[in-house]
Every structure is written in structure tokens, then in C-alpha cells.
Amino acid sequence: MSHVLEADLCVIGAGSGGLSVAAGAAQMGARVVLIERNRMGGDCLNTGCVPSKALIAAAHAADAMRRSGRFGINGHEPDVDFLRVRGHVRDVIAGIAPHDSAERFEGLGVTVLRASAHFAGPNEIKAGTARVRARRFVVATGSSPFMPPIPGLGDSSALTNETVFDLDSRPEHLIVIGGGPIGVEMAQAHRRLGASVTILQRGCILPKDDPDAVAVVRRRLMAEGVTICEGAKVVHASRRGNGVVVTAEINGAPAEIAGSHLLVAVGRRADVDGLGLDAAGIAHSQKGITVDARLRTSNRRVFAIGDVTGEYQFTHMAAYQAGIVIRNALFHWPAKVDTRAFPWVTYTDPELAHVGLTAAMAEEQGHSVRLAGFNLAENDRARAERETEGFVKIVVGRRSKVLGATVVGRGAGELILPWVLAISQGLGIGAMARVIAPYPTLSEISKGAASAYYAPTLFGPTTRKIVRLLQRFS
């Protein structure tokens, strides 16, 4: 027998976006139903951000031991116990899981249903034996790894981010198809943990980022022994014994790469199958659910957030969108998404972080821009830590307004935040030039870039003439 639940808000999907909506709405007094068919916490906790960063941390520890000779320490090749590395990854997940658990959300007053859900009409969802009728709905079902139509790929036991963290032994040779953030992060991590690694990327790696910054990352990966094949079109994959063979055309030349494991990291697809979107009158495509600036679907009772919309597939975007939905759904405040100050970080070493417009994007939009920059090699803290690869590059528009920023180097993900604030608040670069930065810190590079922007004027001939003139009357 089915039973009916009445709610103010029904959320499908307990990933980062859905959890943020459910927690916020429930604590504000709304009646909330949260539906999840798989694991609480979604991709981020179980197969994405958390396990990948835990693996990267283990890889960093191995690399620190390997490279400690530059500090006068007895550096040596580490003995990596891959099974214990997997244990570390799982322990990190387990430590965070209670925060995302059904028990915690039930404690907040949320009704949690563990079942598959689909729309039975424009204002009703069926989940297991329950029917949920709500004033508003939020689809936050996320995304899954996209498997390209490469002949033989389905029979090659290919790994994705959903399975690579289950390995209990180190790959002898990991072949990575895809040179985006996931591909390069996993490539470097496994290389540092002792595997041979080859990246096959159709174009250039990290194609959405500043080419100069990408060049810094590429040099480090290659210096650490990662083989990068750009301009590679994969045409076939197959099993060979206990391993795998990938046939490709690399810049037009045929090539065959044999490895022990294959990781596919070429993008993600929105999880919309089985949701009954047509029954609810919700427009969607292969890319995902169509939403407006207020994250409303074509059914005005239904919102969609996060990866399922096909745009900016990042955990922090889903969390940001959750706030937009709460303001719209609960308070009828016409809040809209603003991505001008949206940042992203690729967690290689060195890290690569970006916010706003690149110089090319700004010029395409008709902006007259100047660039300001500062190299980590000029920073005393970077010198002390022997991590001088990288720079900050700032795109500055009319009236010295900050339009974009790229940071590549150790800790770039932490260093990008002041520039996110500057863009979100419409600040000029002078605001950064006037701050007092603690010494010695890596954060000084931001002030250094801002100061460099004004240096030609401040130390130019006009200023020298004014100073000499004023000294005559002092």
C-alpha cells in the first residue's frame, strides 16, 4: 500500500547540492522530504572530491619523501603500501560521512526516503511505496562518468572515478584517457605513488585554463615521469592478458599503448534517466535539465541544481545554487545565479586556480584589458620552501576593475580567494595594492601583482618630475 507525504519542499538527490537545500530549508522551518537511491553524500563524498583529495594527499607525502634531499634531508624512494593507501582514503570518507548521513538529516527534521524516485505528474513524485506531494521540488541527482563510444572500451574493464579508488594494489602502468582536471589529478597522484602513467588527450590538457598556467603544470607532470600525449585520438581499446591495450592516432600517427589499467576521465553526463521528467513537463536534453537564471525548470514548481543542469559541475557550485533555490522556493525572492566570480581549482602540484575572465575571453567580450602579474620565484616564502614554480596573472579592465585571475603554484586554491572577493564585489586592483600582507607568506604574490600594475606609473618620469618639484619647496 502506498502512502502520501505532504511537504513544502521535496529534494531528489542527497549529494552536496541536495543536502545543502534540505538542511537549510528544514532549519528554516520548512517541511522537507529528501530522496536518495544510492549513498548519502553523493559523488563528492564517495567517489569524487573527498577520495581524490585523500589520494592526492598520500601522493604528496610520498613525493615529499622522494624530494627531501633538496633540504639536506636523506631523501629516498618511499615504500608505498597501496592497500594502506586505500585504507587511508576510506578512513577519510568514513570520517566525513556522519555529516551527510540520513540520521543527521532526520535529526534536523527532514524525512529521508531511501528509494528511486520519479515524477508521477507535475506536482507528485513516487519513491518506493511513498507518494510525495510538495509545493516545490528540487532535482539534484548529479552526474555520472561519461563513457565515450570507443570500440572495445566496454570490454576493457575500464576504470572511472567511481571505481579507481577501490583498487587494492598499485597499477603497474595506468593509461588515462582524458586530460581534464580529473585525468591530470589522478595521473600525477598515481605516478607519485609509483605507477607508470600515460595520458591520452585529444587536444591540449586542461583546455579551459590559461595556456601559460597549463604549461607550468605540464612541465611538472613530465618532469615527474608522466607521459603526456596531446593530439591523441583513441580509436580502440581491448584486453590483453591481464592488461589493456589502447590503439590511438597521435597527431595523425598510429600508436599502440599497453598498460595494466585503463582510467576513463573524459567528462560527465547528467543523471536524468528514470526521473519521469516528461510526465512533469520538465524540458531536458542530453546535456541535462534546462533551467533559467533562477534555476527554475519549464515546470515552475520544480528547480534543478548541480551537475544535473550540465553547467559548472563542481561541488561548490551546487552548494551556491542551493542558496539561490532556498531564496526562490521559500521566500519567493527572485534570486539569480551569477557566475562572474565563479572559481575552480585543479589539484595537481602545482595547483591551478582560476576565477572570472581570461585575457582572451575579456577581449572577445569587448573589454580593453591590461595584465598584471607576479612570479612565485620572486616570493621569499616560495624560495624558502623551494616551490618557486608558478605565478599570478590578473586581468584588469577599465577603471582598474578586476575581471579575472589565474594562480598556478603551491597552494593556488587558497590564494585565489581574494580575487574571487574582488570580482564579486566589483573591486579595483588598487584595493589589493593597499592591503598589508603578512611576511613571509605566499599571499604576498597577490599584493605583488597589484603593485606591479601601478609600477609603470608610480615609478615613471612624471612621478619623478613631481617629486623633484615638490622637494624644491619643502
| Lowest mean per-residue pLDDT among 99-103, 153-157, 190-194, 373-377 | 153-157
Quick check: 395 pLDDT over 80? yes
Query: What average pLDDT does this structure show over 49-78?
Result: 96
Cis? peptide before 440, omega within 30° of 0: yes
6 is in an annotated binding site: no
Quick check: 463 pLDDT over 90? no
162 is in an annotated binding site: no
141 is in an annotated binding site: yes
- Residue 63 domain-assigned (yes or no): no
Using DSSP's 3-state secondary structure scheme, residue 125 falls into strand
Is the CA virtual torsion 165, 167, 173, 177 positive or negative?
Answer: negative
- Structural domain for 175, as ranges: 153-266
| Mean pLDDT, the chain, integer | 96
List the CATH number of the domain containing 349: 3.30.390.30
- Residue 96 domain-assigned (yes or no): no
Examine the domain organization and report whether 320 and 308 are in the same domain. Answer: yes
169 is in an annotated binding site: no
pLDDT digits (tens, 9 = 90+) for 136-167: 999 999 999 999 999 999 999 999 999 999 99
Is the separation of the CB atoms in 351 and 361 below 8 Å?
Answer: no
List the CATH number of the domain containing 13: 3.50.50.60
- Residue 366 domain-assigned (yes or no): yes
Q: Where does a domain end: 211, 237, 266?
A: 266
SS3 of the chain: helix, strand, coil, percent, to 5: 40, 25, 35
pLDDT at 54: 98
Beta-sheet strands, E only, within 67-221 = 111-113, 117-121, 124-127, 130-139, 143-145, 173-177, 196-201
- Provide the domain count of the chain: 3
Examine the domain organization and report whether 188 and 243 are in the same domain. Answer: yes
- Residue 62 domain-assigned (yes or no): no
Examine the domain organization and report whether 14 and 113 are in the same domain. Answer: yes
29 is in an annotated binding site: no
- Residue 71 domain-assigned (yes or no): no
326 is in an annotated binding site: no
Examine the domain organization and report whether 126 and 275 are in the same domain. Answer: yes
Examine the domain organization and report whether 305 and 414 are in the same domain. Answer: no
pLDDT digits (tens, 9 = 90+) for 235-266: 999 999 999 999 999 999 999 999 999 999 99
182 is in an annotated binding site: yes
Beta-sheet strands, E only, within 178-283 = 196-201, 227-230, 232-240, 243-250, 253-259, 261-264, 268-270
pLDDT digits (tens, 9 = 90+) for 324-361: 999 999 999 999 999 999 999 999 999 999 999 999 99
Examine the domain organization and report whether 287 and 250 are in the same domain. Answer: no
- Residue 252 domain-assigned (yes or no): yes
307 is in an annotated binding site: yes
Examine the domain organization and report whether 371 and 311 are in the same domain. Answer: no
Examine the domain organization and report whether 204 and 141 are in the same domain. Answer: no
pLDDT at 20: 98
| Lowest mean per-residue pLDDT among 315-319, 372-376, 451-455 | 451-455
- Residue 51 domain-assigned (yes or no): no
267 is in an annotated binding site: yes
Quick check: 2 pLDDT over 80? no
Q: Where does a domain end: 331, 358, 379?
A: 331
pLDDT at 238: 95
Query: What average pLDDT does this structure show over 297-322?
Result: 96
pLDDT at 468: 85
* CA pair distance 137, 154, nearest whole angstrom: 36
pLDDT at 472: 82
Q: Where does a domain end: 331, 358, 383?
A: 331
pLDDT digits (tens, 9 = 90+) for 25-41: 999 999 999 999 999 99
This prediction has a pTM of 0.95
Q: Which tops the pLDDT comparison, 461 or 102?
A: 102
Examine the domain organization and report whether 28 and 107 are in the same domain. Answer: yes
Examine the domain organization and report whether 9 and 139 are in the same domain. Answer: yes
* Structure confidence at residue 1 as a pLDDT band (50, 70, 90): low
pLDDT at 465: 85
Q: Which tops the pLDDT comparison, 468 or 318?
A: 318
- Residue 24 domain-assigned (yes or no): yes
Examine the domain organization and report whether 321 and 395 are in the same domain. Answer: no
pLDDT at 444: 97
pLDDT at 64: 96
128 is in an annotated binding site: no
Examine the domain organization and report whether 259 and 273 are in the same domain. Answer: no
